Structure 1
């Protein structure tokens, strides 16, 4: 006989069974990352407490959660999760286990912080910088007495995993490693002012510079207020000295010649480094002999 106080006995039985097998929700304890010392934070996130707080204030409008339900991640926690992944380069599971956070939350945090930082790329990385042009010139001149220098340009290969697809060979550099050739310009304070990070490792440095937006602006002689800036004039003179070849010369011949010159320069640099290392060792031996001689004289 059915119970007169329950409309659907089957539904009530299902509810009872569901409650019997239901697991109680547990919320993991997540400590405040800014509560630790600067040494602890710098060792794990490569930033001090002030640096992390500044990044949090900068990215808060972009990464703050719209709800506080279910103990959602705070802005400092989201920033520290992403920076721990950036600093260590390890697996998402490892980063999550260190902070009692799931892999999905770590993945979302890394993605949202990366996209937010990318939006501010042109705000912080600008050539020749946010200061007047004479300031980097004076800074470089104070280092090596080299006048009219506004930036130091160099290229570096960032190693990557072997990509799939028909263009896999384009990423193999001269050392037979898969990489991306990155162009960077820095000032005297080691602050990055320009970045080009989109070329495969097989592309030569000179081609990357010629194809960069900065090179195009300088080659066109872009004018500001009717007059060429000092940057334009200095860089145009540098371009004319760097790229001097006949119009009849093919691009392949130019690349081959530049590769040979680069290899010759690398050999000369290695030899110079070996000579300096040999001289340093000889100096250390002579200094040690002099100290031993002085010790014997004192005795």
Structure 2
């Protein structure tokens, strides 16, 4: 790199000397100097400062609280996820005797959890986990596909055969009858979109987001999720457009969902006065 810089300076010097002999004016002289500085800046290699052995040396030192803050799950939950994805074909390691050094499955999972739990750039995350950006993109896409194609359907299931059990446990816990689930929406913060529709994602709390609608049972396990609508959209509209609304009567039967609105939407409780008096003091968490 230094050799290239010297060669470039030599060529520019010779050009300037030749032009000066022919009467180069001050403006042309300055332009050549600017060109030379710009060209030299391009020849300098920008060194990436990656964090080496972050997984091996730093992560094990995190306290349970710090680990959950960074990765948004507890260590025990992380180990459970790792165990469940270890046998998935899409993530199986190739023959280690050939090719580049493989990214361990633990590192793969930690990278994805960091990605979905923070607003850091891909470049920053790649440096933290000591991988190239192209490697991060490839592995992150593969892991997210596993989340949506495998883990989602395994862990988020409607309690079809447990409706009576769930309803009884809700009533035992909070005294509210015939509840098959608690429904609510939350905003997932995102970076401001660069498109002309950015304003659609600006929610009432004045930050950009997409909305996640979720239903949980009495022990706070999710039984249904629906995500992706812009943050500006009202939760009631999102509910009316969700698959849950279309199938609500079939899924709920004679029971209902407990939500934060008194509207008669599908299988939500339709007695607003009764609902308000009970719900105000009967949160399920």
Asked whether the 8 Å contact 2:215–2:223 carries over to 1, the reply is yes
Give the equivalent residue in structure 2 for 1:66: 94
1:242 alignment partner, one of 264, 276, 280: 264
Inter-partner Cα distance in structure 1 for 2:160 and 2:62? 28
How much does 1:116 deviate? Answer: 0.8
Asked whether the 8 Å contact 2:179–2:256 carries over to 1, the reply is no
2:244 equivalent to 1:214: yes
1:193 alignment partner, one of 223, 228, 244: 223
Inter-partner Cα distance in structure 1 for 2:216 and 2:60? 32
How much does 1:72 deviate? Answer: 0.9
Inter-partner Cα distance in structure 2 for 1:46 and 1:33? 20
Give the equivalent residue in structure 2 for 1:168: 198
TM-score normalised by length of structure 2: 0.60
Higher normalized contact order (CA 8 Å, seq sep 6+, divided by chain length):
2
Distance 1:243 1:53, change over 3 A: closer
Distance 1:189 1:37, change over 3 A: farther
Inter-partner Cα distance in structure 1 for 2:222 and 2:238? 17
Inter-partner Cα distance in structure 2 for 1:37 and 1:48? 14
Asked whether the 8 Å contact 1:65–1:72 carries over to 2, the reply is yes
Distance 1:66 1:50, change over 3 A: same
2:253 alignment partner, one of 220, 229, 232: 232
Give the equivalent residue in structure 2 for 1:14: none
Give the equivalent residue in structure 2 for 1:91: 121
Distance 1:108 1:185, change over 3 A: same
How much does 1:109 deviate? Answer: 2.5
Distance 1:168 1:131, change over 3 A: same
How much does 1:200 deviate? Answer: 1.7
Asked whether the 8 Å contact 1:170–1:200 carries over to 2, the reply is yes
Per the alignment, in what secondary structure is the counterpart of residue 150 of structure 1? strand
1:148 alignment partner, one of 167, 178, 188: 178
How much does 1:151 deviate? Answer: 0.9
Cα deviation per residue 1:165-224 (whole Å; 9 max; x = unaligned)?
3433433334444322321111222222111112222322222212211111135xx4xx
Give the equivalent residue in structure 2 for 1:75: 105
Asked whether the 8 Å contact 2:178–2:254 carries over to 1, the reply is no
Distance 1:216 1:31, change over 3 A: closer
Counting matched residue pairs gives 210
How much does 1:117 deviate? Answer: 0.3
Give the equivalent residue in structure 2 for 1:204: 234
Q: How does 1:1-299 map to 2 (within 5 A)?
A: 32=56, 36=60, 39=63, 41-42=67-68, 44-60=70-86, 61=88, 62-68=90-96, 69-120=99-150, 121-127=152-158, 129=159, 132-219=162-249, 222=250, 231-235=252-256, 242-243=264-265
- Unpaired runs of at least 5, structure 2: 1-51, 267-275, 281-285
Inter-partner Cα distance in structure 1 for 2:161 and 2:59? 35
- Unpaired runs of at least 5, structure 1: 1-27, 223-228, 245-264, 270-299
Distance 1:122 1:145, change over 3 A: same
| Alignment RMSD | 3.7
